[in-house]
Amino acid sequence: MSKDKEVKSFAKLGKTLATVAALAIVAIGAGLLVAWYMGSHGSVSVTAPAETFAPSPSPAPGAPAVRPASPPPVERTIPDTAGDPQLLDSRTWEEKLEEILLRGGEPDEKADKILALIPTASPDAQVELSQHLINMAQDDHYDGVAGLLTNANTQKAVSTVLMNDLLNRKNTLKLPMLLAIAENDDHPLKGEAKDLLGVFIQTDYGTNWTQWSSAIDTWLQQNEQ
């Protein structure tokens, strides 16, 4: 190699080394600057960007729609009215009675429906309903009326209507019913029933209800041929 080329190579190498040295000095200086800044200002916390919510993508054409989950059903307490249709009927007792009387059907069926209206009716309405009841109730379908008449909790006005009707019934029905009323100490018509028994039997056995019962059986055997 010629001396001129050798000199140029050393000159080029020197420039390169000088550039590298200058870059190293700059880097060291930058590092010292950062260290000084951190030391004087403390650590720097990095705050993550706030989370964003993108709207749900629309379903592809033809894909089934996805519905949001429904809230759990709210339990409701519903009164049981299946056993008592009258609770669902807002008509007055007059309207119900009119329908019973005008609609077709057997008298016994109508008597049962009228009897069902009495417990929930007003006192005055009970009296009027009982008057219609005795017009429909037959001697061979008298159990419902008998239960109402012998019940000590039935109001006296209703019991009076039923007892007056009882006097027109056949003796085999009438006398045992009068005995059932007379021996019930809580019944409001017990005195009247006992007096009526005395009229038929022509004897007074006081409160000896066994003797009364035997006397009634004997009287019926003699008079109901």
* Domain ranges, ordered by start, for the chain: 1-41, 89-223
pLDDT at 66: 54
Least confident range from 35-49, 118-132, 192-206: namely 35-49
Residues in Cβ contact with 196 at an 8 Å cutoff, skipping those fewer than 6 apart: 167, 178
At what angle are helices 123-136 and 93-102 packed, to 10 degrees? 10
Using a cut of 0.85, tell me whether the model's pTM lies above it: no
> 17 pLDDT exceeds 90?
no
Across 164-174, b (16+ Cβ under 10 Å) vs e yields: ebbeebeeeeb
User: Strands (DSSP E) along the chain, which ranges?
Assistant: none
Residues 15-21: what's their mean pLDDT?
Answer: 52
State the Cα–Cα distance between residues 99 and 137, nearest whole angstrom.
17
More confident position, 31 or 187: 187
Which two structure tokens, joined as six digits, stand for 108?
């016994």
pLDDT digits (tens, 9 = 90+) for 149-176: 999 999 999 999 999 999 999 999 999 9
pLDDT, tens digit, for every residue of 92-148? Answer: 999 999 999 998 889 999 999 999 999 999 999 999 999 999 999 999 999 999 999
The two structure tokens encoding residue 179: 């005995």
What does the pLDDT look like over 58-91, one tens digit per residue? 555 555 555 556 556 555 444 444 445 545 567 8
Burial class (CB in 10 A: 0-12, 13-18, 19+), 86: middle
Q: 159: buried, middle or exposed (CB in 10 Å: 19+, 13-18, 0-12)?
A: buried
Enter the DSSP assignment of 141.
G
What are the residue ranges of helices labelled H in 71-189? Answer: 93-102, 107-117, 123-136, 143-150, 156-166, 171-182
| DSSP annotation of 198 | H
The DSSP H or E segment spanning 97 is helix 93-102
